[in-house]
Chains A and B, each alone.
Chain A
């Protein structure tokens, strides 16, 4: 029964988070006078990163800002519209590895120039994420030590190959999880369950206090966010979109999920990475996911076999719960298909949006099941012990997936 009620419970969280944002989210631009938008990348996605930079440059931004691009040595530094292109030196030593190490390096740069106060805002982007103008404005103005917006796999959502179409819809749950758990656990309870690096926005003082020097190879976002909350810093969540791309191949999908899974496990089991409270919280979230899948599956079979007989009122409530679950997927499809390309006609846009929404609903049993299958599969695949990077565009997805082999390399998620 508990498993069946989860959609209702999640809907309550979602509404609470959204309501809290609408009623209580604080913005105070007067407290900030410096804004850094930092794109951290291995360096392979030059074209995509330049696209993101140009996109941001096209926005009528209301504040002074700088775009920093952080890459590994040995890659092109051709980012003509970036304010700074930072190559992480090979000799830079930190406890953290890969992407986290790169961010830690940029922290030292900011410290050297004294940008460590509350008046400095930093938004971290990946090389596959497009923030909307509204996102950047709200992130800058948010009067919080740390905040983030709403992730949605809107970039090339459901387009291209069948594989990318399916993987986009599997990612419907990412939007749903962010809308449900990030909005409430970050925005309301100040106790994050998920943290995503895409669009994570912090102040200079927060960065200086928490730092990025953790003994981790992945999940730097979760680690940073949970430690910030644990140290009493204030979390905020806002409903503006950071648009990302779903993986383009099944291999890339499993590599990405494996990295997340084992990065999170590493964080959960190591007290020098995650404090006990957040570790328990995040651990329970994983167990709950498995329980919901197993519990509802078993109950479904037992009901079919007539082993459990449910009273009508409960049965009606389960129908409501199921309807809400399906509605959630429909909402994900609707929002995720909401990015309008510049050359897209109205007819094409709305046709695509309605089609993708219907697909999200039709595919919801597959999407939900596959997420759990991926969870179990990545557990079985074992710890990668490295930050495996996947191609972020259709073009780079065809190139062999890159695995960072050296702790000296900074890579992006």
Chain B
């Protein structure tokens, strides 16, 4: 007696073929082939713990000194420290000249009291720095047109402009390195130790308007381009950052405002608020064609607003929230044509992404890791290879994105499925015809 229907094997074959067809359609039916990045996106030299540049230069240490390897002071490392009542010239960490006069209020004044072209010089309205200039302890320096319209910082170890518990105002100045090289992300720091930069350190204030910054910075602690660090704050507006290592960087800074600036072709990022910075306002900026991200918040950057910015054509993402950067609002930005994703929320919770226009990116908006409390709504997501990943697209307008079902692919899949079905039916038929083994 055999109660089994002979058709059962055929029905199973049909079910298997249909199942495989459905799974393949679900997995492969959408066109995601172009989602793979063409270059290795995250290659970067490891971070090296080191002193901040102000400490290095005032001790006469080479800028590549690290916590692990203490360099010896060298006379070639020179700094001009400006205190309220005196100016000190240091070489190799030793004071070689002390000028007991009230702090010069401008670079033009500084040139006049230093009177040594090997340290600082002026031609027409352009000042050239051959040593670090540090505005210290309550001093205020203003560098502004029409007195100074150009600032050239010589490419040599220990040359930069900084405020340390001081105040720095720059208005209408074209600031650049003396050559036009810019390190890339894999440049050896020791090879690039002479790259100049600007730094507001230790509760300083740095306010910049209507200026241009070119060829500055390298991949080293607080030496990236323009940096607000350790409680410093201020603003930068109507300025241009072109071919710096990073346009604007901050760590442990509160209330910094970055407004109506343009960031082009910087090696790494356009705007990079970092560790424990908070309550920032980043608005009406354009951050295009930078090596990696246009704007990135990373490592506990909180309570900030990113609005009305344009980020286009960056090597990775347009705007990114990373490393527990929480409670930020990203709104009314235009994010287009970046090599990777438009907006990325990675391991950062309670952010609001709303009313942005995201188009022409790899993935429009990506959410990954712990992103609890994140709200994404009211965004216009269009013409990306894939609209979104890691969140629901409801409450957003998503259309014309890739990742839609591909008729061609589905056709191929179901052609294969039909062939598989024929094979399975054939095998079933053969197996049922084949004489079964019997006991000998």
User: Which A residues have a C-beta under 8 Å from some C-beta of B?
Assistant: 15, 18-19, 21-29, 31, 62, 118, 134, 137-138, 141, 143, 234, 304-307, 309, 311-313, 316-317, 319-320
Q: Are B1 and A29 interface neighbours, CB within 8 A?
A: yes
List A contacts of B16 (CB < 8 A): 15, 19
- Is B3 in the interface zone, CB < 8 Å from A? yes
CA distance A18 to B10 in the complex (A): 12
User: A15-B16, A26-B437, A306-B347 given. 14 additional CB < 8 A pairs?
Assistant: A15-B15, A24-B436, A31-B439, A118-B439, A137-B3, A138-B3, A141-B2, A143-B439, A304-B370, A306-B346, A311-B36, A312-B389, A316-B26, A317-B23
Shortest Cβ distance from B323 into A: residue:
A306
B12 touches A18 (CB 8 A): yes
Flag the segment in B27-35, B285-293, B298-306 that touches A.
B27-35
Contacts of B257 in A (CB 8 A): none
B13 contacts chain A at the CB level, 8 A cutoff: yes
Give B residues with C-beta under 8 Å from A: 1-4, 8-9, 12-13, 15-16, 23, 26-28, 30, 32, 35-36, 346-347, 368-370, 386, 389, 403, 428, 431-432, 436-439
Q: Which of B12, B386, B437 makes the CB contact (< 8 A) with A15?
A: B12
State which of B4, B27, B370 has its C-beta within 8 Å of the C-beta of A306: B370
| Listed residue (A24, A31, A306) with the most chain B CB atoms within 10 angstroms of its CB | A306
Q: Which of A23, A307, A312 contacts B432 (CB 8 A)?
A: A23
Contacts of A134 in B (CB 8 A): 3
Residues of B contacting A28 in the complex (Cβ-Cβ under 8 angstroms) = 438
Contact of A22 among B8, B30, B403 (CB under 8 A): B8
Contact A19 B13 (CB under 8 A): yes
Q: Is the CB of A317 within 8 A of B27?
A: yes
Given A19-B12, A306-B369, A320-B27, A24-B386 contact (CB < 8 Å): no
Cα of A118 to Cα of B440 in the assembled complex, Å: 12
Give the interface SS of chain B, mostly helix, strand, loop or mixed: mixed
Contact partner of B369 (CB less than 8 A), chosen from A24, A138, A234, A305, is: A305
Bound together, the chains give a CA A71 to CA B3 distance in angstroms of: 35
Q: Is the CB of A312 within 8 A of B439?
A: no
A312 touches B32 (CB 8 A): yes
The residue on A at minimum CB distance from B366 is A309
Inter-chain contact B369/A22, CB cutoff 8 Å = no
Interchain CB contact under 8 A, A22 and B1? no
> Of residues A19, A28, A143, A319, which shows the largest number of chain B Cβ atoms within 10 Å of its Cβ?
A19
Q: Which residue of A lies closest to B23 (CB)?
A: A320
Within 8 Å CB of A23, what residues of B?
Answer: 9, 428, 431-432
Residues of A within 8 A of B369 (CB): 304-307
Minimum CB–CB distance for A204 against chain B, Å: 13
CA–CA, A320 and B431, complex, Å: 30
Interface centre among A15, A23, A24 (most CB of B within 10 A): A23
Q: Does the CB pair B28–A141 fall under 8 Å?
A: no
Q: Are B28 and A313 in contact (CB under 8 A)?
A: yes
> Taking the nearest CB of chain A, how far is it from the CB of B13, in angstroms?
7
For the complex of A and B, the 5 pairs showing the least CB-CB separation, nearest first, are A306-B369, A22-B8, A23-B9, A316-B27, A22-B9
Query: Which A residue's beta carbon lies closest to that of B36?
Result: A311
**A309 touches which one: B23, B28, B36, B368 (CB < 8 A)?**
B368
Scoring A31, A311, A316 by chain B CB atoms within 10 A of each residue's CB, the highest score goes to A316
Q: Which residues of B contact A18 (CB under 8 A)?
A: 12
Distance in angstroms from A179 CB to nearest chain B CB is 13
Q: Can you list 30 A-B contacts with CB-CB less than 8 angstroms, sorted by A residue number?
A: A15-B15, A19-B9, A19-B13, A19-B16, A22-B8, A22-B9, A23-B428, A23-B432, A24-B431, A25-B4, A27-B1, A27-B2, A29-B1, A62-B1, A134-B3, A137-B3, A141-B2, A143-B439, A304-B369, A306-B346, A306-B347, A306-B368, A307-B369, A312-B32, A312-B386, A312-B389, A312-B403, A313-B32, A316-B27, A319-B26
* Shortest Cβ distance from A315 into B: residue: B389
B347 near A312 with CB under 8 A, answer no
Known contacts A15-B16, A118-B439; is A22 also within 8 Å of B347 by CB? no
Chain A's nearest CB lies how many Å from the CB of B11? Answer: 8
User: Which of A22, A305, A313, A319 is the one whose CB lies under 8 Å from B12?
Assistant: A22
Cβ-closest chain A residue relative to B386: A312
Residues in B neighbouring A311, C-beta threshold 8 A: 32, 35-36
Q: Which residues of B contact A29 (CB under 8 A)?
A: 1
Q: How far is the CA of A370 from the CA of B397 in the complex (A)?
A: 43
Q: Are B386 and A22 in contact (CB under 8 A)?
A: no
Inter-chain contact A313/B27, CB cutoff 8 Å: yes
Q: Which residues of A contact B439 (CB under 8 A)?
A: 31, 118, 143
Q: Is there contact, CB below 8 Å, between A26 and B12?
A: no
Complex interface: chain B residues within 8 A of A309 (CB) = 368
Please measure, in the bound complex, the distance between the C-alpha atom of A21 and the C-alpha atom of B36, giving whole angstroms: 44
Chain A residues with CB under 8 Å of B438's CB are 28, 143
Q: Which residues of A are found within 8 Å of B30, using beta-carbon distances?
A: 312
Q: Check A305 against B432 for contact (C-beta < 8 Å).
A: no
Q: How far is the CA of A228 from the CA of B23 in the complex (A)?
A: 39
Which residues does chain B contribute within 8 Å of A313, judged by CB atoms? 27-28, 32
In the complex, what residue of chain B is closest to A25 when comparing beta carbons?
B4
Distance (Å) between the CB of B53 and the closest chain A CB? 32
Residues of A within 8 A of B8 (CB): 22
Q: Out of A31, A137, A306, A312, name the residue touching B1 (CB < 8 Å).
A: A137
A19 touches B436 (CB 8 A): no
Question: Which residue in A27, A31, A118, A320 is a CB contact (below 8 Å) of B26?
Answer: A320
Chain A residues with CB below 8 A from B4, complex form: 21-22, 25
Residues from chain B with a CB closer than 8 A to the CB of A305 are 347, 369-370
Which residues of A are found within 8 Å of B432, using beta-carbon distances?
A: 23
Q: Which A residues are CB-close (under 8 A) to B28? A: 313
A312 in contact with B436 (CB, 8 Å): no
Are A141 and B1 in contact, CB atoms less than 8 angstroms apart? Answer: yes
Tell me the complex Cα distance, A24–B8, Å: 11
